[in-house]
Structure 1
Amino acid sequence: MTPPSPLSTIPYGKQNICKEDVEAVLDVLHSDFLTQGPKVPEFEHAMATVCGAAHGVAVNSATSALHLACLALGLGPGDTLWTSPITFVASANCALYCGASVDFVDIDPATWNLCPKALATKLEKAEKENQLPKIVVPVHFCGQPCDMAAIHQLSLQYGFFIIEDAAHATGASYRKETVGNCRFSDITIFSFHPVKIITTAEGGMALTNHQDLAERMALLRSHGITRDEKEMTQPPDGPWYYQQIALGFNYRMTEIQAALGIRQLDRLDAFVAKRRMLRQRYDNLLSHLPLRLPFCHGDCDSAWHLYVIRLQRERITKTRKDVFEALRKEGIGVNLHYIPVHTQPCYRAMGFREGLFPEAERYYQEAITLPLFPDLHETDQNRVVNVLARILKQTP
């Protein structure tokens, strides 16, 4: 691989598209099906097989997958969904789409994932107030799985469903088993956005071991329409006949996207291995700087979708904004994952405010996401580290 120009901007994330990916897409373009053909079920089967789940339902985005998962589990008005405040807004918005309410559980100070201890405390209080959640959505932030065994045990005690938001965690493992097997959850969702571990350009998937949930999500992703006579309320008029038996959506994945996903899945192990190598290299190169580096629990093998550092603000003279802007000015395409959801104007209007989830808010004041993707050359990684070191050592 030829190193890029040292003057180029280094993005925080970037897809890897090879010749085989392009050929797979072209094959579909020359075929009889662009939508609703054989490639979507092939991709669903391949993803479910890799993860060890029984069923896969491919859709046009992970946000759609979250929405369908909530609907399949019966979330609606009068119900509540809990999730982490450190996530993309879709992890919470999916509840609002269903007419339900949202609340949050603070993050673990070490892993930055939803904290099982905070969850247990909140559940105990909610039970006394008769306000238990119907669904909890643990988010595998940066690609590191949450403590799913602990969360699952709490679900057995308090009776809530679990949707794993594994948008960051394709290829990750928990207790030596691949994320997505749904051993400790009802449904797991994945994202195939271009910056994620594998891509279908846009796209997502829900995995489950429950046939009824898979069938419900598959129905709702395509307008709630069925051609299955067993599901119809009256006999068909002819071979052309279909019925809408539920209010569904147009959340289908195309054949083009699925063909790309199948080929990308072939390289999943290589993508994750490269990300893990780059993570280890960052750890070694950044260890001398006034930073808090990401921690990975011994039960987990992260997919390392993101590499987030936290500034030790008491040891530096610059603000986080100063550091962020200086890196961008030097062509280092840093980002920030995420602004706590409960501080967004939409959620403030519901009564949320600063001070409710202190660990999440502390994290936000210190976090910066550094570039990490399979094609990141070591020369560019060195540049990221050197520029960051120079900025941190400068006085205001």
Structure 2
Amino acid sequence: MIPYGRQDVTEDDIKAVDEVLKSVYLTQGPAVPKFEEAVLRHCNAKFAIATNSATSALHVACLSLGLGNGDWLWTSPNTFVASANCALYCGAKVDFVDIDPQTYNLCPKALEKKLISSEKKGLLPKIVVPVHFSGQPCDMKAIYALSQKYGFKIIEDASHAIGGKYLNEPIGNCRYSNITVFSFHPVKIITSAEGGMAVTNDVNLAEKLTLLRSHGITRTPSLMTKPMEGSWYYQQVDLGFNYRMTDLQGALGASQMNRLVHYVARRHALAKRYDKLLANLPVITPCQHKDGYSAFHLYVIRLKLDEISLSHVEVFEALRAKEIGVNVHYIPVHTQPYYQNMGFHVGDYPEAEKFYSEAISIPLFPALKESEQDYVIEALKELLQS
């Protein structure tokens, strides 16, 4: 089976993890700060807080921005459920903004229209979570301008996007957001086996994020409510969580950061080759916005269903039968049963639903061989030209 995505683990990675296993620290040692520092250097940001998953990072990001009961968080329906669930964890409410039909990201024009309408009803969001789908950045400058007018905070869900750029600057610099969140799941650009990170330029948010990822406990005197009693002393000053990353994960992530630029460049080379090989087939290849440099976590094609004899499901299952591990990203969040029970309906966000009905993610990862890529193309030709 050729998977749609796969991690690349080298001898250097194994050595880095092995060194942690032989050290005195397995959890709260020097490897996690080393990983955080590597991400900061790449992003040109000020603070990084590693967590055990991107979902955890989204959760504490929302809490650090004060999201709670009665508040609203808006995000894209074309995302994994975690981008919306993070609001529910805080007791807040969720709504969605439809996608741009070209980039598949949250549409700034749709956002502005919804903000105008919601302002009249007194239902403006406290937080908006733009999702950099497949690694391509959203139009953050436009979204940021709206945040200044309507008073909401921004969390960039960059789970797909480390190594990408927006306006020729690295995604994660937080120029147009309060916090950016990355994922290091094995199918992402780099991996720490499992893990996430929140990046910010705000020292107060950094302190809050650090506190919340570790039970709300601090040893920092300035954050305590009474003087220290001794060097052993700590205080729980907030209700936090055990969202810490281990040193094993940190060592793997820091080692992988050494190859981040190479990985993204290889993904671009493979994507460019796909563009060329797919040019004469009844599919739409990914559009790349002039202001962005995608991390190319995913390569998603859209089937021109009116030009082929097979259905979306039939093409998907036929590719799987040929040992090609295609996937679909994403089932729109608002169509999930849990969200339908909250009052959302099929038809609420037509662009996201149309995209879902045509989309297939085909294999893309740095170790993908051109011969494997050719096999994928030949399989698509056989199915789509029959």
TM range (shorter): over 0.9
Structure 1 residues 114-125: aligned runs within 5 Å? 114-125=106-117
Q: Which residue of 1 aligns with 2:96?
A: 104
1:235 counterpart (227, 230, 235):
227
Q: 1:144: Cα distance to partner?
A: 0.1
2:29 counterpart (29, 37, 41):
37
1:270 counterpart (262, 269, 278):
262
Question: What amino acid is the match of 2:357?
Answer: Q
Q: Which residue of 2 aligns with 1:5?
A: none
CA–CA separation in structure 2 for the residues paired with 1:227 and 1:214: 15
Structure 1 residues 85-104: aligned runs within 5 Å? 85-104=77-96
Secondary structure of the 1:139 match is coil
Q: Which residue of 2 aligns with 1:4?
A: none
Question: What amino acid is the match of 1:351?
Answer: G
Structure 1 residues 264-343: aligned runs within 5 Å? 264-343=256-335
Structure 1 residues 354-393: aligned runs within 5 Å? 354-393=346-385
Q: Unaligned regions of 5+ residues in structure 1, if any?
A: 1-8
Q: 1:393: Cα distance to partner?
A: 2.0
CA–CA separation in structure 2 for the residues paired with 1:317 and 1:248: 54
Q: 1:325: Cα distance to partner?
A: 0.3
Q: Which residue of 2 aligns with 1:154?
A: 146
* Residue 25 of structure 2 is aligned to residue 18 of structure 1: no
Normalised to the residue count of structure 1, the TM-score between the two structures is 0.97
CA–CA separation in structure 1 for the residues paired with 2:199 and 2:224: 26
Q: Which residue of 1 aligns with 2:41?
A: 49
Q: Unaligned regions of 5+ residues in structure 2, if any?
A: none
CA–CA separation in structure 2 for the residues paired with 1:307 and 1:228: 45
Question: What amino acid is the match of 2:270?
Answer: L
Of 18-27 and 34-43, more deviation after overlay is shown by 34-43
* Residue 142 of structure 2 is aligned to residue 130 of structure 1: no
Secondary structure of the 1:27 match is helix
Q: Which residue of 2 aligns with 1:251?
A: 243
Q: Which residue of 2 aligns with 1:221?
A: 213
Cα RMSD, aligned residues only: 0.7
**Percent identity, aligned pairs only?**
62
Normalised to the residue count of structure 2, the TM-score between the two structures is 0.99
Residues 148-205 of structure 1 deviation map (CA, whole Å, 9 limit, x = unaligned): 0000000000000000000000100001000000000000000000000000000000
2:203 counterpart (199, 206, 211):
211
Question: What amino acid is the match of 1:50?
Answer: H
Which structure 1 residue ranges, 4+ long, deviate > 2 Å from structure 2?
A: 234-239
Q: 1:69: Cα distance to partner?
A: 0.4
Q: 1:229: Cα distance to partner?
A: 2.3
Question: What amino acid is the match of 1:347?
Answer: Y
Structure 1 residues 148-227: aligned runs within 5 Å? 148-227=140-219
Q: 1:237: Cα distance to partner?
A: 3.2
Of 222-231 and 21-30, more deviation after overlay is shown by 222-231
Q: How many residues align?
A: 386
